[in-house]
């Protein structure tokens, strides 16, 4: 079985039905799929973490390995992704770059397939999510309504206007919920079942008893947090983010500029 980038995943057994890239996307959207791809490149010895210790902490960057040879033998998708790390990148750089077309296409394909299988919900088009004027109008309307309610409460010497404001805000949220893409109940159940099925990987990983293929699967299913105290600990530290499983950036077709983060709760 080929993965989303047209190449066979070395973590897949002959009869293994788990698509690691799909699971990573389901768990946390485009950002988690990107993290998995970067881990794959580090496993292959293509990427390294450069760190610089300071009195206030440690600065870290991702860069192409200085001793990388025969890059032309790598799959085209890997070569194009590596091109972005010719210059060292901070974690902020990583999540704000425009990434290769195959990664964008993979995210779009997974999003559409998961929507069809009712594992993701939502309907907002990606291009509508971040138009600045929409956010500005929404914030202005909220502040204006809040201000009017506060003024009315002051004039009337009553808390009723503020009560009505918050009651209306609650009702509006119920009638017109945020329509961004998110995990559905069936999606959460499916993800929990996969994590339960492969829970043994976390035990073996912590005991240092897994090979590269199993380690890749563990990262896909549980997130980079599982690499803590391993030889890939620096990558986990560089790309770590807020623990918020299932709230990843599903709406974007590409991995660049995403604002979601979903390392697993085990990390």
Poorest-pLDDT segment among 27-31, 183-187, 240-244: 240-244
- pLDDT top residue among 167 and 4: 167
| DSSP state string for the chain | -B-TTSSB-TT--TT----HHHHHHHHHHHHHHHHHHHHHHHHTT-EEEEEEEETTEEEEEEEE-TT---GGGS-HHHHHHHHTTSS-B-HHHHTTSPPPHHHHHHHHHHHHHHHHTTSEE----GGGTT-HHHHHHHHHHHHHHHHHHHHHHHHHTSSHHHHHHHHHHHHHHHHS---S-EE-HHHHHHHHHHHHHTHHHHHHHHTT---HHHHHHHHHHH-GGGGTTSTTHHHHHHH-----TT-SB-S-SSSTT-------TT-
- pTM (2 d.p.): 0.69
In the chain, pLDDT over 90 holds for what percent of residues?
A: 18
Q: pLDDT higher for 58 or 181?
A: 58
pLDDT in tens, 80-139: 999 999 899 988 888 887 878 888 888 889 988 998 998 888 765 444 444 556 667 777
What is the pLDDT at residue 15? 46
pLDDT band at 147 (very low <50, low <70, confident <90, very high): confident
Q: Between these two residues, 170 and 28, which has the higher pLDDT value?
A: 28
More confident residue, 242 or 109: 109
Query: pLDDT confidence of 58, banded at 50, 70, 90?
Result: confident
pLDDT value for 196: 93
Does residue 10 contact residue 213 with C-beta atoms inside 8 Å?
Answer: yes
| Per-residue model confidence (pLDDT) at position 230 | 82
CB 237 within 8 Å of CB 61: no
Supply the mean pLDDT for the chain. 75
- On whether the CB atoms of residues 252 and 107 are closer than 8 A, the answer is yes
Of these ranges, 71-75, 137-141, 245-249, the one predicted with the greatest mean pLDDT is: 71-75
Given pLDDT bands bounded at 50, 70 and 90, which one contains residue 216?
A: very high
Residue 134 pLDDT: 61
Q: For position 158, what pLDDT does the model report?
A: 81
């Amino acid at each position: 079985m080929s993965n989303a980038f047209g190449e066979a995943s070395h973590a897949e057994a002959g009869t293994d039905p788990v698509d690691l890239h799909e699971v990573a996307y389901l768990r946390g959207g485009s950002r988690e799929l990107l993290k998995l791809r970067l881990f794959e490149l580090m496993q292959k010895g293509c990427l390294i973490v450069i760190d610089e210790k300071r009195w206030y902490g440690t600065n870290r960057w991702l860069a192409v390995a200085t001793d990388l040879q025969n890059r032309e033998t790598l799959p085209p998708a890997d070569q194009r992704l590596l091109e972005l790390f010719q210059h060292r990148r901070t974690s902020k750089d990583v999540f704000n770059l425009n990434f290769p077309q195959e990664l964008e296409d993979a995210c779009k394909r997974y999003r559409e397939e998961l929507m069809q299988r009712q594992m993701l919900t939502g309907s907002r088009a990606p291009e509508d999510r971040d138009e600045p004027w929409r956010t500005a109008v929404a914030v202005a309307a909220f502040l204006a309504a809040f201000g009017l309610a506060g003024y009315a409460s002051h004039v009337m010497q009553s808390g009723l206007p503020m009560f009505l404001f918050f009651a209306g805000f609650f009702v509006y949220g119920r009638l017109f919920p945020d329509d961004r893409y998110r995990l559905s109940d069936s999606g959460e159940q499916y993800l929990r079942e996969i994590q339960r099925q492969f829970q043994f990987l976390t035990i073996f990983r912590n005991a240092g008893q897994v090979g590269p293929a199993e380690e890749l699967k563990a990262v896909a299913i549980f997130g980079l947090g599982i690499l803590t105290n391993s030889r890939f600990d620096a990558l986990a530290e560089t790309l770590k983010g807020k623990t918020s499983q299932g709230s990843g950036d599903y709406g974007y077709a590409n991995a660049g500029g995403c604002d979601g983060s979903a390392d697993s709760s085990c990390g």
